[in-house]
Amino acid sequence: MVFDMQIIVSEIPDNGLEYELDIPVALLNEAVRNTVHVYIEIQKFGDKVLVKGNAKTKLQVACSRCLKESPYPLDISFDIEYIPLAEFSDIDEHELRKTELDISFYKDDEISIEELIKEQLLLAVPMKPLCSPDCKGICPECGKDLNDGACECKTEKIDPRLAVLKKLKK
């Protein structure tokens, strides 16, 4: 079965579509395509389209403290209802917010599976990823990775209260 990244809504058969495959998706960097293993089920109800499934990949994510890149496995599930964009204006926004469903919109009879996968995976990437919860980061003075040991810089700022204690001890 040939997989098209663009689903043509009017061509979705009554019994739906189901795919399991690897697709290359540019996630964090347009120049790098990550292979994403995708399982997806597509069902059409009138002009509504239900897309559900899961996606797995491994990203190289830079630690927000030490900037070292490490593999970050992603394994997400999604369950999204697509409605035609034009119909949106007819829906009470209040009603829309009350529902727990993920709602998305399509226009021109097309749904981009690549966009969907990309969006869902990026939502799962933490804003400030860490290589480990106790990562020490890099020294702001010399740039040494403090996880490999302390540097020679005298950057430690002495708490004024501790400074007083030190004086008292003398």
Q: State the nearest-atom distance from the C-beta of 25 to Zn ion, in Å.
A: 25
Query: Rg (Cα) of the chain, in Å, rounded?
Result: 24
Quick check: 163 binds Zn ion (CB under 5 A)?
no
Q: State the nearest-atom distance from the C-beta of 137 to Zn ion, in Å.
A: 7
In the bound state with Zn ion, the residue whose beta carbon lies nearer, of 50 and 130, is 130
Quick check: 83 binds Zn ion (CB under 5 A)?
no
Dmax (CA) of the chain: 85
Alpha-carbon dihedral angle through residues 128, 132, 136, 141, given to the nearest 10 degrees: -50
Q: How far apart are CA 97 and CA 102, in angstroms?
A: 10
Quick check: 146 binds Zn ion (CB under 5 A)?
no
Q: State the nearest-atom distance from the C-beta of 133 to Zn ion, in Å.
A: 10
From the number of C-beta atoms within 10 Å of its C-beta (0-12, 13-18, 19+), residue 104 rates as middle
In the bound state with Zn ion, the residue whose beta carbon lies nearer, of 42 and 131, is 131
Q: How far apart are CA 113 and CA 101, in angstroms?
A: 18
In the bound state with Zn ion, the residue whose beta carbon lies nearer, of 153 and 165, is 153
Q: How far apart are CA 167 and CA 165, in angstroms?
A: 5
Residues of span 39-78 touching Zn ion by CB under 5 A: 63, 65-66
Binding stretches for Zn ion (CB under 5 A): 63, 65-66, 131, 135, 139, 141-142, 151, 153
